[in-house]
Amino acid sequence: MIFNEINDQSVELRITNYEFPEITDCKYDANWLLIQLKIKSNCGNWETTDPSLFTWEVERIIDWFNDLYADQTTETNLSFLEPNIAFQLIKNQGNLKTIRLKFDLELQQKDVENEKECFVDCEMNNAELKRAANGLKKELEAYPQRTV
């Protein structure tokens, strides 16, 4: 899924595999996903891959984008067990939302000071929100939640 952002910035988010594809008998280890990011931003340009999200956390992101698309009340900050990536609704103007994708720790650019906040803001209309939800859903189809 590619998020095209304000000021010619972009974030490409891909699920590349389970962190432990061979483990299927542990709820947590069986469902960690390797997340690959290619980021072009005002903070810099970098690529990284890290086990940053569970399968059910990606489902939360999909639901969040669908809620934004449908103009349903939703939480404004979306964070996860590993604080590597977060989503924040900055502005809601009906058919146009401004969303901040924040990167920290393992998903942050390696040569950035830890105190420097790395993020990319994007303006998304309802069609783009729906496309984001559908794109992430398609990415996740190859990696269903594995249960014990």
pLDDT digits (tens, 9 = 90+) for 118-131: 899 999 999 999 99
Q: What is the 3-state secondary structure (H, E, C) of 86-120?
A: EEEEEEEECCEEEEEEEECHHHCCCCCCCCCCEEE
Q: Which domain holds residue 29?
A: 2-141
Query: How would you classify residue 41: left for phi > 0, otherwise alpha for psi between -120 and 50, otherwise beta?
Result: beta
pLDDT exceeds cutoff 90 at 17: yes
Write down the pLDDT at residue 73: 75
- Amino acid, res. 73: T
Helix (H) or strand (E) holding 23: none
- Amino acid, res. 7: N
Number of domain units in the chain = 1
Q: Does any domain span residue 147?
A: no
Write down the pLDDT at residue 113: 59
**CATH, residue 121:** 2.30.31
Q: Does any domain span residue 33?
A: yes
How many CB atoms neighbour CB 140 within 10 A?
A: 19
Q: Does any domain span residue 87?
A: yes
- Prediction pTM value: 0.91
Mean pLDDT across 25-54: 93
pLDDT digits (tens, 9 = 90+) for 48-99: 999 999 999 999 999 999 999 998 877 899 999 988 999 999 999 988 999 9
User: How many CA atoms are closer than 13 Å to the CA of 128, on its beta-carbon side?
Assistant: 13
Write down the pLDDT at residue 86: 95
